[in-house]
Copies of this chain bind each other. A is one copy, B any other.
Amino acid sequence: MLKPSVVKELKTIVGADNLSTSPEDLVVYSYDATQQEALPWAVARPGTAEEVSRILRLANEELFPVVPRGAGTGMSGGSVPVRGGVVLSFERMNKILEIDEENLIAVVEPGVVTGFLQQEVEARGLFYPPDPASHQFCTMGGNVAECAGGLRAVKYGVTKDYVLGLEVVLPTGEIIRTGARTAKSVAGYDLTKLIVGSEGTLGVATKIIVRLLPLPESVRTLSAFFGSAEEAAAAASRIMAGRILPRALEFIDRAALRAVEGYLKEDISGGAEAMLLVEVDGSAEATGRDIGAIEALVIKAGAARVIRAETGAERERIWKARRSISPALYAIKPKKMNEDIVVPRSRIAEILREIGAIAGRHGLLIVNFGHAGDGNIHTNIMHDEGEAAKVEEAVKEIFAAVLRLGGSISGEHGIGLSKAAYLPMEVGQAALDAMKRIKQALDPKGILNPGKIFLNAE
């Protein structure tokens, strides 16, 4: 709980209108997409980096946790205030400050919705590639904190690959600028890329400089339907080895197809066991040729049916199906444990086989879909209340298999609360200690987003 004097001071900093302490307000900031929740003690809506800095300085004096929050669409509990404290919410800092068409950069505040930035730059013939499935809701600040990936990462990379510089408030309250308005800069340690993906534990971004690309001239999309998940996975590996780099290469398994078909009340797959969704971009000639080559390749790999999206409406229909999977899965079971494992692309069929065996052993339904192109599979362990122990066992076995294949336990969701117990499996004790020493060096009092990434962390 916050002392009344602290509440008063917070009101002085952000203005009384921008500080909430009433229970009905607090509950709105208590959860994210993982269904985990914890009530904060207060929610502050700062308007400037200076205000964020003053809040953090106060927190270091009065020793309360500060938890930065974007739109709460996170998939690992990153913004859930598990130790209470003050949530920093950036709805007021939601402006695109600049789109510099000459230098292909944009400067935004953390509260800008990612999809809005995409729209604005596309209207100018430019392109911001990172594309989390939640792009219509999630914010750039949240994307930076989690190093969000998305559908186009296979070709274009993730948030980190686009952030050139930041204005950051350090956990101890200092405002620093990292990086530059240029694609290259090697002036000292790369604090930009250390902060991006640090899940709001090493600093609070208050300004974000991203690089933009020219908008590709042409995009072409196809969906391919298979008689088995293994066949589809093998076809995906074949595409990636085929030296054409698609901008999206998504895999959807049987259970996910059935769920989304029920949810949208639409037959998408004609009863197929698995689907691939492939999209290429580039010059019109190149995409025409590439999509033809990919079509031939998937047919050779055993696709029973291939549909090219010839119009924008057809393309939208396919993507809508893909984006509806997450909500659709709740029709199967009341609870899901959503993991976002990643393996080398050629090992997708192998990991799916292993997951199938693990599901069988534990009597669980595990639904798999996601970014086959970069080996990043969303593995959803569907379950009822009271099956937590079984689920935990299955997760541990899946992660062990992933690491055996040279992968990572999280491709784009982050560690947060959900995976803190498993992080040591991946990185080992010495690397974990190095990370903790960095946290300690920048946040000696453990003020910023405590309880995340490190199990039992301060």
Residues of A within 8 A of B (CB): 100-105, 125, 146-147, 149, 153-154, 157-158, 160-161, 170, 174-191, 193-194, 196-198, 202, 213-215, 237, 240-241, 243-245, 282-283, 285-286, 289, 342-346, 371, 374-376, 406-415, 419, 423, 426-428, 430-435, 437-442, 453
A251 to B266 alpha-carbon distance, docked (Å): 57
Q: A344–B414 contact, CB under 8 A? A: no
> Residue of B at shortest CB range from A437?
B441
In the assembled complex, the CB of A434 is this many whole angstroms from the nearest CB of chain B, namely 6
Determine the distance from Cα of A371 to Cα of B419 in the docked complex, in whole angstroms: 43
Q: A103-B346, A245-B213, A346-B102 are in contact. Are A435 and B189 (CB under 8 A)?
A: yes
Name the residue of chain B whose CB is nearest to the CB of A170.
B434
Asked if A408 and B175 sit within 8 Å, CB to CB, the answer is no
Is B344's CB under 8 angstroms from A105's CB?
yes
> How far, in angstroms, from A189 to B161 measured CA to CA in the complex?
15
Point out which of A125, A181, A215, A407 has the most chain B C-beta atoms below 10 A from its C-beta.
Answer: A181
Q: Are A180 and B374 in contact, with the CB atoms below 8 A?
A: no
Contacts A188-B427, A283-B285; is A408 near B180 (CB within 8 Å)? yes
**Are B375 and A182 closer than 8 Å at their CB atoms?**
yes
Contacting pair A190 B194 (CB below 8 A): yes
* Pairwise interchain contact A431-B105, C-beta atoms closer than 8 A: no
Q: A184, B411: Cβ atoms under 8 Å?
A: yes
- Known A125-B243, A147-B190, A185-B408; further 13 A-B contacts with Cβ < 8 A: A100-B346, A102-B237, A104-B240, A181-B344, A184-B371, A186-B411, A189-B202, A189-B435, A190-B194, A191-B435, A283-B286, A283-B289, A437-B441
Number of copies: 2
| Residues on the B chain within 8 Å of A245, using CB | 213-214
A376 smallest CB distance to B (angstroms): 5
Q: State A181–B411 Cα separation when bound (angstroms).
A: 11
A54 CB, min distance to chain B CBs, angstroms: 15
A430 contacts B183, C-beta separation under 8 Å: no
Question: In the complex, what residues of B have CB within 8 A of residue A214's CB?
Answer: 243-245
Question: What residues on B are CB-neighbors of A342 within 8 Å?
Answer: 180, 182, 184-185
A125, A157, A176, A215, most chain B CB atoms within 10 A:
A176
Chain B residues, CB < 8 A from A406: 180-182
A457 to chain B, nearest CB (A): 11
A161 and B161 contact, CB distance less than 8 A: yes
Assess whether A170 is in contact with B430, with CB atoms less than 8 Å apart: yes
Do A435 and B160 touch across chains, with their CB atoms under 8 A apart?
Answer: no
CB distance from A328 to the nearest CB of B (A): 24
**Complex CA distance for A179 and B426, rounded to whole angstroms:** 9
In the bound complex, CA of A223 to CA of B427 (Å): 48
Nearest chain B CB to A377 CB, angstrom units = 11
Q: Which residue of B lies closest to A288 (CB)?
A: B285
User: What is the CA–CA distance of A57 and B288 in the complex, to the nearest angstrom?
Assistant: 58
Q: Which of chain B's residues have a CB closer than 8 A to the CB of A174? A: 430, 433-434
